[in-house]
Amino acid sequence: MIRVRSLVLLVVIILMIAACAPGGSTPVPGTPGTTPAQSEPVASEPAESEPAESEPAESEPAESEPAESEPAESEPAESEPAESEPAESEPAESTPPTGGEPVVGGTLAFGGAALAASLDPALTSDGESFRILQQIYEPLVDLAPGTVDELVGVLAESWEGEPSDTEYVFNLKQGVTFHDGTPLNAEAVKANFDRWQNFAEEFQANAYYYGAVMDGFGPENLISSVEATDENTVTITLREPSPTFLFGIALTPFSIVSPAVLESTNADDPTASTLGTEVVQGGTGAFVLEDYVPAESATLSRNEDYHGEHPAYLDRLIILPYADPAARLQALQAGTIQGLDLIAPADRAAVDGVEGYQLINRESYNTLYLGVNPTATEGSPLAEQAVRQAVSHAIDREGLIAAFYGGGGSPADIFLPPTSGWFDSVSEGVEVYDYDPDAARTLLADAGYGPENPPVVNFWYPTEVTRPYMPDPAGLHQAVTTMLEEVGFQVTPGSAIWGTEYIPAAQNGEYDLHFLGWTGDFDDPSNWYGVHFGYSQGEPAAQFGCDIEGLEAAIDEADAALDETERGAAWNEVASIIQSEVCFATLVHGDTGIALTDQVQNYVANPTGSESFVDVWLSGE
């Protein structure tokens, strides 16, 4: 009866939401206040949302990166998995058919949920920013297309260094120039690494990935030295081994920017820098940034001098922001765009198997969670473990999947998704909080709470955004709020704009409860647990206030383990501590997909959502 009552309650909530929205009886998952697809004009315009200042990785941040690394003198195309890597990753679930030989030319308009939080790659941490910036800028190494555990060289032609080493030597690709004509050399790489390490305090909050991967900033972080050994050789020395170092610097925030552009934009001055807002020619990528209108469009053109196997096939790539998934779909159907990301679960039937369209499913590699912070509010009831356990028991994950994910996705028993090669070893024996509202009520009663003195919490959700793990933030918030109130919580709701307000506040630990999530950057538990709960020079992550005795030592031990079995067991211990203490409540692993017209060829999906357009082309059909 409890289960039935919960599902009925969800249906009532959905109908209430629909009743408030004009033009339809079924709500379209998406931004609060948006209307169903049929009420939007056919020729919809891009969303007028402001670009975010900073975002988690998809959530969000990393204290460590995977255990995979190149063997000494390895060529990038032949990278071998590191000793500590688990089973091979599975590629994206499907790729579109290719229609013959690639055709050069044409403009592809692609719809995302937002534009970039910043045009300075080092100051970004979200997938919408990465979508644009990774076409323009490049790191030393990157993930092989469609994989989560294989590295290939990009600006580094080869490199030496093992997971147990503290020295990495990168041999740069010769003849590469930045878009402004400046040659790529070892001094240029050193200038970027030195800039990141010495970021002014005003930059550090937005340089989320650097701080997480390198254990903070300044002379005491992970980096001991970066040397330009000769014109095309860079030697990076670490203070201690970091098995996931190479995967960390494969992320978009570690892209190399022209030193001339860094100087001309005053990139090191927090009060004068224009690198984050100005159209510059500072990258080495397959596309050059031609025009950028915040909240409207990013226009990229082919780099004719690209150093890769071939220049991009497309003449131009235009990224348009649509915060509302229904608006993205309408733009695709109207011909305004030829592709979109994060198709809403309810909209899949509009393109899947429909003539003229193709649907590419990404392997699910994400998790929605409810952040639980016992230190956000003085005297918070969440300081008691029993109250945090009651929060987790109160949430009907299956009900959320049925109501907001189109029946796709799966309940998140732990943070790491089942598609990870590490899932079995990390999840073994970890406590799982099943949906049990009676148990939640009992826990609250035992903690001294009841109808006359309910535990009071604030609960926040983001606006002007959808994420792979969070298709309808407002709807999910209303549903979970009702579940919490059903067991006895008194909830004070709150909302804030995703990039400019919500992310900084969440990461600074200002919310009792909040929605966030994570799309993995590569396949290692450190990119999930280490990123979120890793300590930075002795300080716990402010987002969760989870300073549990033994947690820092457990994370350090897990992050240093090289043997695959030992590494899995060590991260299992970390997961057990975090799950037992309910530092957060993991909710759903969401399914995601890309919708394209049949004209778009050779789009290769990656479970991380980080995808290049260099090999994409348009057929004449």
- Domain locations along the chain: 366-589
Asked if residues 70 and 362 have their Cβ atoms less than 8 Å apart, the reply is: no
Measuring CA to CA, how many Å separate 391 from each of 100, 175, 306, 385, 412? 54, 57, 52, 10, 15
Among 289, 304, 349, 353, which residue's Cα sits nearest to residue 115? 289
Measuring CA to CA, how many Å separate 150 from each of 183, 426, 497? 28, 21, 35
Please state whether beta strands 287-293 and 297-302 pair in parallel, antiparallel, or not at all (unpaired): antiparallel
Exposure string of 470-506, with b = 16+ CB inside 10 Å and e = fewer, is bbbbbbbbbbbbbbbebbbbebeebbbbbbbbbbbbb
In angstroms, how far is the first alpha carbon of the chain from the final one?
A: 55
Asked if residues 152 and 144 have their Cβ atoms less than 8 Å apart, the reply is: yes
| DSSP category for residue 255 | -
Measuring CA to CA, how many Å separate 203 from each of 120, 131, 173, 218, 500? 11, 22, 30, 13, 14
Distance CA 525, CA 36 (A): 38
Asked if residues 595 and 354 have their Cβ atoms less than 8 Å apart, the reply is: no
Report the pLDDT value the prediction gives residue 99, as an integer from 0 to 100. Answer: 58
Structure token pair of residue 257: 């920017």
Asked if residues 62 and 531 have their Cβ atoms less than 8 Å apart, the reply is: yes
Distance CA 121, CA 38 (A): 37
Mean pLDDT (10-residue bins), the chain, 621 residues = 43 43 33 32 37 39 39 38 40 48 97 94 93 98 92 98 96 98 98 98 91 92 97 97 95 98 98 97 98 96 97 98 94 98 92 96 93 97 98 97 89 96 97 97 98 98 91 96 98 92 91 96 94 87 94 95 96 97 97 95 92 95 58
Distance CA 486, CA 224 (A): 53
Report the pLDDT value the prediction gives residue 498, as an integer from 0 to 100. Answer: 87
| DSSP category for residue 602 | -
Asked if residues 141 and 246 have their Cβ atoms less than 8 Å apart, the reply is: yes
Among 245, 71, 226, 86, which residue's Cα sits nearest to residue 162? 71
In which region does residue 31 sit, left (phi positive, over 0), alpha (psi from -120 to 50) or beta (all else)?
A: beta
Residue position matching structure tokens 């050994």: 229
Distance CA 573, CA 569 (A): 6
Specify burial of residue 561 (Cβ count, 10 A radius: 0-12, 13-18, 19+): buried
Can you say how many angstroms the Cα of residue 605 is from the centroid of all Cα atoms in its chain? 15
Quick one: which H or E segment has residue 474?
helix 473-487
The 3-state secondary structure of 368-427, one letter per residue = EEEEECCCCCCCCHHHCHHHHHHHHHCCCHHHHHHHHCCCCCEECCCCCCCCCCCHHHHH
Can you say how many angstroms the Cα of residue 206 is from the centroid of all Cα atoms in its chain? 14
| pLDDT tens-digit series, residues 127-185 | 899 999 999 999 999 999 888 999 999 999 999 999 999 999 999 999 999 999 999 99
Report the pLDDT value the prediction gives residue 537, as an integer from 0 to 100. Answer: 76
Distance CA 242, CA 65 (A): 8
Residue position matching structure tokens 């020619």: 281
**437-446 and 2-20 helices cross at what angle (nearest 10)?**
100
Quick one: which H or E segment has residue 618?
strand 617-618
In which region does residue 211 sit, left (phi positive, over 0), alpha (psi from -120 to 50) or beta (all else)?
A: alpha
Asked if residues 386 and 446 have their Cβ atoms less than 8 Å apart, the reply is: yes
Distance CA 291, CA 115 (A): 13
Report the pLDDT value the prediction gives residue 346, as an integer from 0 to 100. Answer: 87
In which region does residue 25 sit, left (phi positive, over 0), alpha (psi from -120 to 50) or beta (all else)?
A: alpha
* Dihedrals phi, psi of 499, to nearest 5 degrees: -80, -45
In which region does residue 442 sit, left (phi positive, over 0), alpha (psi from -120 to 50) or beta (all else)?
A: alpha
Q: Domain 366-589 belongs to what topology? A: Dipeptide-binding Protein; domain 3 (3.10.105)
Distance CA 396, CA 385 (A): 20
How many secondary structure helices (H) and strands (E) does the chain include?
17, 21
Asked if residues 430 and 568 have their Cβ atoms less than 8 Å apart, the reply is: no
